[in-house]
Amino acid sequence: MTDLTLRSSPASPFGRKVKLAAAACGLTGRIDIVRADTNDPADSLRTQNPLGKIPTLVTADGTVLYDSRVIVEYLDHLAGGGKVIPTEPKARFEALTLQALGDGIMDAAILRRYEATLRGEGERSARWDGHQQGKVDRGLDHLEANLPAAERLTIGEIAVAAALAYLDFRFEGSWRAGHPNLAAWLDTVGPRMPGWAETTPA
Ligand SMILES: N[C@@H](CCC(=O)N[C@@H](CS)C(=O)NCC(=O)O)C(=O)O
């Protein structure tokens, strides 16, 4: 029985992170995914989440949770705790910081995507785009030198995998050539994650 509604879209990397976390927590069967259009002012998403952002989670009693980090905390709690967010302090803050890096890469990549798709030709700023690209590049370089774990599945590895797969999806995997070890990590670890195939954007 589904008692949770996730507003998301297939292309959203933050939505995918939450779906992968839900799968790792064994909660996929409780979640009904209802597609949201963040560009549509009439979409009920904007009444559920004033920020109009996905992912947004609505529980059976109408409680609304956002953003993705809060939703992941909630799912981990529903699953009994310590499933994708470790409880031991050192591991916990490592996982949360790695998640923040994955999220930051997604944020910057999404801003680049919006710059290219939502702004008209004359409105685009190469300087702003380069500023965001720098965050992605430095994040990738850091991860290439500090590969995430291969045998552990925390929200850190999930967020990084979702971020890299988004770069594959929207930026034709151009990051791979300069980051061969990270690319190999994604290709090995990603498909092993519960829910990976089902959440791959087409
Ligand atoms: N910090 C947010 C970021 C979510 C986010 O940026 N979502 C994008 C889609 S992946 C979005 O809703 N964009 C529409 C908008 O910003 O208006 C989270 O972790 O959930």
CA-nearest residue for atom 13, ligand 1, is 53
CA-nearest residue for atom 19, ligand 1, is 68
CA-nearest residue for atom 10, ligand 1, is 12
Question: 54 CA to middle of ligand 1, Å?
Answer: 5
Say yes or no: domain 4-78 is CATH 3.40.30.10: yes
pLDDT number for residue 112: 97
Q: Could you tell me if the CB of 17 is within 6 A of ligand 1? A: no
CA-nearest residue for atom 11, ligand 1, is 53
Q: Kindly list the strands in the beta sheet with 64-65, ordered across the sheet, starting from the edge strand earlier in the chain.
A: 31-35, 4-8, 56-59, 64-65
Kindly report, as residue ranges, where domains of CATH 3.40.30.10 are found in the chain.
4-78
Does the predicted TM-score (pTM) go above 0.95? Answer: yes
pLDDT number for residue 1: 86
Work out which ligand 1 atom sits closest to the CA atom of 53.
Answer: 12
Q: Could you tell me if the CB of 14 is within 6 A of ligand 1? A: yes
On the CB side of 138, CA atoms within 13 Å amount to 9
Q: Could you tell me if the CB of 16 is within 6 A of ligand 1? A: no
Question: 184 CA to middle of ligand 1, Å?
Answer: 27
190 by Cβ neighbours in 10 Å (0-12 / 13-18 / 19+) ranks as buried
**Of 38, 50, 44, nearest in space to 10 by CA:** 38
Kindly report, as residue ranges, where domains of CATH 1.20.1050.10 are found in the chain.
89-197
- CATH for the stretch 89-197: 1.20.1050.10
Output the DSSP codes for 113-177: HHHHHTS-GGG--HHHHHHHHHHHHHHHHHHHHSPPPSS---HHHHHHHHHHHHHHHHHTTTTTT
pLDDT number for residue 2: 95
Question: 33 CA to middle of ligand 1, Å?
Answer: 16
pLDDT in tens, the chain (202 residues): 899 999 999 999 999 999 999 999 999 999 999 999 999 999 999 999 999 999 999 999 999 999 999 999 999 999 999 999 999 999 999 999 999 999 999 999 999 999 999 999 899 999 999 999 999 999 999 999 999 999 999 999 999 999 999 999 999 999 999 999 999 999 999 999 999 999 999 8
Question: 38 CA to middle of ligand 1, Å?
Answer: 9
pLDDT number for residue 121: 87
